[in-house]
Structure 1
Amino acid sequence: MSHGDLSVMHGNGSVRARLTLFTGLLATMLSLVLAAPGTAHADDSGHMTHPDLDWLGSQIKIHEGSDTAGDSKVVVTPTVTQTPGMDVSSYQGDVNWSGAWSKGAKFAYVKATEGTSYTNPYFAQQYNGSYNAGMVRGSYHFALPDLSGGAAQADYFVAHGGGWSADGKTLPGALDMEYNPYGATCYGKSASGMVSWIQSFSNEYHAKTGRYPTIYTSTSWWTTCTGNSSAFAAKNALWIARYSSSVGTLPTGWGYQTFWQWADSGTFPGDQDKFNGTLDRVKAYAKG
């Protein structure tokens, strides 16, 4: 029975008016819920269902495992000084930044966005808090290449916390390329299609900010989903994910990593990271 049949059956204009009012109120309430930070909008319906559980490396641990359990099991002998840092998302909530700073964290990356609608509801506390504590900080975007184009996601990222400034304390944005938390590992894309998507994101980010984004990935995912492409090594710094005592084999083209996410728990809240160099080099990379 249609709404028209219902109104005729009742034969009452006030009933129709109440139905119209109720429908309008319901639509307004639904739009407010979908627009709230930390949720997915209608265009993500049935796809992005748990963005607060999608953080930098959340799928790496699931698919590749770990042979670390925090600082105590990891012995690293790098060729240059490593600067300790961390990365967080809404999963950590309000972070004690002064505490992390006092324990030695010198830089931080904060999740800003995912897809084309999600924003981290704790972003301001985390992004501004890390800066105020003295850290060099930046933000990252969790990519969903099957949801929309690379340029569209880069635009959304820049508009919602992913920008960059040459103040020496703001790192260029990072693009999180990892296993699909909602389906097929490579988001239904061929290797060439994935490379094109990443190029679209990277070029648009550069056009908007003047910097190319750091690319976060694991060697295994990169090999599987881009065909181990070397197309980005000349312009994009590498942030490698490997929860072990060494970075292992890097994707083709990169002779070294700029960042290394080496554990998903430890001294600092969130994931544990190392910058491949001294603190003055972190600041130099931030400044561009």
Structure 2
Amino acid sequence: MPLTDPGAHGGSARRRSSSPIPHPTRTPLLSLAVALGVALALLLAAPGPAAAHDEDPQAHPDFGSASMGSTLLAHEGDQQTFAPPEVSPTATVEGVDVSSHQGDVDWSTLWDSGVRFAYVKATEGTGYRNPYFGQQYDGSHDVGMIRGAYHFALPNASGGADQAEYFASNGGGWSADGKTLPGVLDIEYNPYGSACYGLSHSAMVDWIRDFSDTYRSHTGRDVVIYTTTDWWKQCTGDHAGFGATNPLWIARYASTPGTLPAGWDFHTFWQYTSTGPTVGDHNQFNGSMDRLQALADG
């Protein structure tokens, strides 16, 4: 029996019915329309893919939780039990960096242990401000430390210029008071998605340049760049164009800073552990106290 026979698929039952027989060319079209409508409804009702957070990191449920070095262990894996590097204390200055994870910090204990400078997370992207910033930034200053602020970069959330303006306007500014260090751009692995934020090497370099130029226009200072050598190679192609202007803060949890990113002959700061006393993240300034003071003075 040919497939077009009206008796197939229950056609005889339809003939016994008083209902009109559907036009043979309309039935497939109606079925197709129904199927497409159901598929569209399911698509619209389904939740978006996890990768949507990569496109808008400020919509991520953990937005604001990132801090200096918080992505290193997952990507680079080198971690040491706390032990200060074997260097002369007259050639370095001990410091810490803090964020909301530390809450209210015991600055007196840190000062008594020899810590003389502090960096405090101020902002992330263009939608987060550290709620403990006042206690941490002012508290470190009040015990006598030289302090500064840092910004956690989200290059796939907004432009470099926008984030630099947000940072400079929300704690990241600089003043010539002898107690304020230039701001820091913390640019490391993406805590909410792909390591390089979905940017090409050239796009990442352009983003960093826009941030740096805008920060300088607001403060008169060149922003310090915090990063790791591995991330810099992977995400900028080991671009060498910032070493002549921007101080380097290298992150490596080991006994030496290791090989530096292209363009820098020396580091200014070194984050050498995330398991230090009182506050986990400990750092050294690569110079004596008078040189740190000179950096603050501009």
TM-score, normalisation: structure 2: 0.79
User: For the Cα contact (< 8 Å) 2:64–2:124, is it kept in 1?
Assistant: no
Q: Does 1:287 align with 2:297?
A: yes
Question: Per the alignment, in what secondary structure is the counterpart of residue 257 of structure 2?
Answer: coil
User: For the Cα contact (< 8 Å) 1:44–1:117, is it kept in 2?
Assistant: no
The match for 1:93 is: 103
Question: Per the alignment, in what secondary structure is the counterpart of residue 247 of structure 1?
Answer: coil
Q: Aligned in 2, Cα 1:268/1:258: closer, same or farther, shift over 3 Å?
A: farther
Q: Does 1:192 align with 2:213?
A: no
The match for 1:201 is: 211
Q: Does 1:64 align with 2:105?
A: no
AA matched with 1:150: G
Q: Does 1:49 align with 2:61?
A: yes
Question: Per the alignment, in what secondary structure is the counterpart of residue 231 of structure 2?
Answer: helix
**What stretches of structure 1 of length at least 5 have no aligned partner?**
1-42
Q: How many residues are paired up?
A: 244
Give deviations 1:198-251, integer Å, cap 9, x for gaps: 000000000000001000000000000000011110110000000000000000
The match for 2:9 is: none
Aligned with 1:129 (options 112, 115, 139): 139
Give deviations 1:16-37, integer Å, cap 9, x for gaps: xxxxxxxxxxxxxxxxxxxxxx
Aligned with 2:250 (options 240, 253, 258): 240
Structure with larger Rg: 2
Q: Matches of residues 1-288 of structure 1 in structure 2 within 5 Å? A: 47-71=59-83, 74-77=84-87, 81-288=91-298
Q: Aligned in 2, Cα 1:61/1:234: closer, same or farther, shift over 3 Å?
A: same
For 1:192 and 1:281, how far apart are their aligned partners in 2?
Answer: 34
TM-aligned CA deviation for residue 167 of structure 1: 1.2
AA matched with 1:195: V
For 2:161 and 2:136, how far apart are their aligned partners in 1?
Answer: 26
Q: Percent identity?
A: 55
TM-aligned CA deviation for residue 266 of structure 1: 1.1
Q: Aligned in 2, Cα 1:78/1:196: closer, same or farther, shift over 3 Å?
A: farther
**What stretches of structure 2 of length at least 5 have no aligned partner?**
1-54
For 1:62 and 1:53, how far apart are their aligned partners in 2?
Answer: 15
Name whichever of 53-62 and 252-261 sits farther off: 53-62
Give deviations 1:158-182, integer Å, cap 9, x for gaps: 1100000111110000000100011
Q: Which has the higher helix share?
A: 1
The match for 2:8 is: none
Question: Per the alignment, in what secondary structure is the counterpart of residue 67 of structure 2?
Answer: coil
Structure 1 runs (4+) deviating above 6 angstroms are none
User: For the Cα contact (< 8 Å) 1:103–1:267, is it kept in 2?
Assistant: no
**Aligned-residue CA RMSD (Å):** 1.7
AA matched with 1:155: E
Question: Per the alignment, in what secondary structure is the counterpart of residue 110 of structure 1?
Answer: strand
User: For the Cα contact (< 8 Å) 1:150–1:201, is it kept in 2?
Assistant: yes
For 1:188 and 1:257, how far apart are their aligned partners in 2?
Answer: 28
For 1:79 and 1:272, how far apart are their aligned partners in 2?
Answer: 14
Give deviations 1:72-103, integer Å, cap 9, x for gaps: xx543479711100000000000001110011
